Amino acid sequence: MQRSRLANSYKFLHFDRFVFPMKLTFENRIALVTGAGRGIGRAIAEHLAAEGAMVICVSKNADSCGAVADAINQSGGKAQALAVDVADKVAVAAACEALLTEHTCIDILVNNAGITKDNLLIRMSEEDWDLVLTTNLSSVFYWTKGLIRPMTKKRFGRIINISSVVGLIGNAGQANYAAAKAGLLGYTKTLAREFASRAITANVVAPGFTATDMTAGLSPEVMEMAKKTIPLGRMGEAADIARIVTYLASEESGYITGQVFSVDGGMVM
Ligand SMILES: NC(=O)c1ccc[n+]([C@@H]2O[C@H](COP(=O)([O-])OP(=O)(O)OC[C@H]3O[C@@H](n4cnc5c(N)ncnc54)[C@H](O)[C@@H]3O)[C@@H](O)[C@H]2O)c1
């Protein structure tokens, strides 16, 4: 578990003799992270749990979210696994109903699950367009609809949607993915406006090239080309994304809403 490493690295700022505690507040908070079975989602789930949130780890595959929840529980954190296909609106609605019977409110919603089905537009099938739009964009609507009502009653909520730099600048071969990721920006800003009066914040994190299974299949040539476009000269780590998501999920981020945070080594500026 990351707890002691995190505690040592950024929970305290030392100024001369004085110590200013910077511990983030997650007491009694319940978070749900989609796509938590591996990669960025797993890192987000582990970071939130390390800060004290109870984390519901959602993945399409029961084994992968089960393994992540087990690892968190064995390390002294609190987690539950939930196998749901986020693209299946009936399954998501049923999952939300069951969750809200067990817990009165899911305080933090991190929509991270995402897929790619790349092709140049001329060769892109309608099926791949629909699948990427449903998985990466419509699913976010399904989870928000299913979980937001108790947040409005509680007058607390944190919604963090994981987009991509591709949603900001486009990318040849990813019309479906770019459209879905760009759609998240308008969607999140609208949520931010609609729910601000209930103290619910909604923000976007847009990762650049991040080392996960999603990018593991890229050829060494593509990787080298990609690195040349990154001023910091390296790919991101899942933890780079998890740290800002954890801050945006905390009590302390309550005056930040409707924003898009690129975490991309300076690729888009
Ligand atoms: N890795 C990158 O370079 C990068 C860059 C920008 C944005 N992103 C975004 O970050 C997010 C996480 O990416 P990653 O690199 O960790 O990807 P990944 O492929 O390693 O992991 C994605 C996770 O989402 C889950 N998932 C996919 N479809 C699902 C479905 N229908 N139902 C439930 N779970 C589903 C998978 O099981 C997996 O656990 C995605 O939204 C991705 O678009 C990634």
Which is the CATH superfamily of the domain at 23-263? NAD(P)-binding Rossmann-like Domain (3.40.50.720)
At 11-51, the pLDDT tens digits run: 545 555 555 556 899 999 999 999 999 999 999 999 999 99
For residue 66, CA distances in Å to 2, 16, 77, 81, 139 come to 19, 45, 14, 5, 21
Please state, in angstroms and rounded to a whole number, the distance separating the CA atoms of residues 53 and 55.
6
Question: Is residue 129 pLDDT above 90, yes or no?
Answer: yes
At 171-225, the pLDDT tens digits run: 999 999 999 999 999 999 999 999 999 999 999 999 999 999 988 888 889 888 8
Counting ligand 1 atoms within 8 A of each CB, the residue from 57, 115, 138, 168 with the most, and so the one to mutate, is 115
Pocket of ligand 1 (CB under 6 A): 34-35, 37-41, 59-61, 64, 85-87, 112-115, 135, 162, 164, 207, 209-210, 212-215
> Is 255 labeled as catalytic in the residue annotation?
no
Sign of CA pseudo-dihedral 26, 139, 216, 58: positive
Please, which pLDDT band fits residue 147 given cuts at 50, 70 and 90? very high
Cβ within 8 Å of residue 29, ≥6 positions away: 52, 53, 54, 107, 108, 249
The reported pLDDT for the residue numbered 98 is 98
Sign of CA pseudo-dihedral 118, 122, 128, 134: positive
Atom of ligand 1 nearest to the CA of 40: 16
Share of the chain above pLDDT 90, in %: 87
User: How close is the Cα of 17 to the center of ligand 1, in Å?
Assistant: 44
Domain limits of the chain? Answer: 23-263
Atom of ligand 1 nearest to the CA of 60: 33
Q: What is the pTM of this model?
A: 0.93
Closest by alpha carbon to 164, among 113, 201, 130?
A: 113
Atom of ligand 1 nearest to the CA of 207: 6
